[in-house]
Amino acid sequence: MIWKVWRNETIPILGLLVALVGLFANRLSILLVGLFFWGLTILASRLARRTLEEMTVTTHLTEAYAEIGASVLTELVVINPLPWPILDVQWKIDLPQAVHPEGAGRTVAHPGGARQTLAGTLWVHGHQRVRIQFRLTGASRGRWNIGPSSLTFKDPLSWNELARDDDSLYHLTVWPRRYPLPAAFWAQTPLMGPVRGKPWDTPDPLRITGVRPYRPGDPVRLMAPYASARLRSLMVKQVEPVQDRTVEVLLHPKTTDAHWHGIDRPLLEDTISIAASVVESAVLSGFATGLSSSGAVPGHIRGFTLPAQRRADARELLTALAWTQPSGTMDDDLPHVLARMQSRLKPGTILVVVSPYWPDVLTESLQAAQRRGLRVAYLTLGDQHPRVPHWIHDYWRFDQGRWSHA
> Model confidence over 114-144: pLDDT tens digits?
889 999 888 888 899 988 888 999 999 999 9
Q: Is the pLDDT of residue 200 over 60?
A: no
pLDDT given for residue 1 in this prediction: 43
Residue 13's pLDDT band (cuts 50, 70, 90): low
φ, ψ of residue 374 in degrees (nearest 5): -75, 130
Rounded to two decimals, what is the model's pTM? 0.75
pLDDT given for residue 53 in this prediction: 81
pLDDT given for residue 8 in this prediction: 56
Residue 369's pLDDT band (cuts 50, 70, 90): confident
From the options 2.60.40.290, 2.60.40.10, 3.30.470.20, 1.10.3720.10, give the CATH code of 56-174: 2.60.40.10
pLDDT given for residue 234 in this prediction: 92
One DSSP character per residue, 246-313 reads EEEEEE----SSSGGG---HHHHHHHHHHHHHHHHHHHHTT-EEEEEESSBBTTBTT-EEEEEETT--
Q: Yes or no: is domain 243-405 CATH 3.40.50?
A: yes
- Residue 47's nearest CA partner among 96, 85, 102, 93 is 85
Burial 256-289 (b: 16+ CB within 10 A, else e): eeeeeeeebeebbbbbbbbbbbbbbbbbebbbbb
pLDDT given for residue 198 in this prediction: 53
Phi-psi region of 72 (alpha: psi -120 to 50; beta: other; left: phi over 0): beta
Q: Is the pLDDT of residue 359 over 50?
A: yes
> How many beta carbons lie within 10 A of that of residue 254, not counting itself?
24
Q: What is the mean pLDDT of residues 82-94?
A: 86
pLDDT given for residue 250 in this prediction: 95
Residue 352's pLDDT band (cuts 50, 70, 90): very high
Rounded distance between C-alpha atoms, residue 354 and residue 178, angstroms? 14
* Helix locations, 128-246, DSSP H: 225-231
State whether residue 232 is helix, strand or coil: coil
Q: What is the mean pLDDT of residues 167-176?
A: 90
Residue 354's pLDDT band (cuts 50, 70, 90): very high
- The alpha-carbon radius of gyration of the chain (Å, integer) is 31
Name the packing angle between helices 330-341 and 360-371 (round to 10°): 10
User: Taking all residues of the chain, what is their mean pLDDT, rounded to a whole number?
Assistant: 82
Peptide bond into 148 cis (omega under 30): yes
Do 227 and 235 form a contact (C-beta atoms < 8 A)?
Answer: yes
Q: What is the mean pLDDT of residues 333-341?
A: 91
Q: Which run of H or E residues covers position 377? A: strand 375-381
Residue 292's pLDDT band (cuts 50, 70, 90): very high
> Model confidence over 382-403: pLDDT tens digits?
666 678 888 887 888 888 888 8
Rounded distance between C-alpha atoms, residue 271 and residue 277, angstroms? 10
pLDDT given for residue 195 in this prediction: 45
Straight-line distance from the first to the last Cα atom of the chain, in angstroms, rounded to the nearest whole number? 61
> Model confidence over 207-260: pLDDT tens digits?
677 888 998 878 788 889 999 998 889 998 887 654 567 899 999 998 887 777
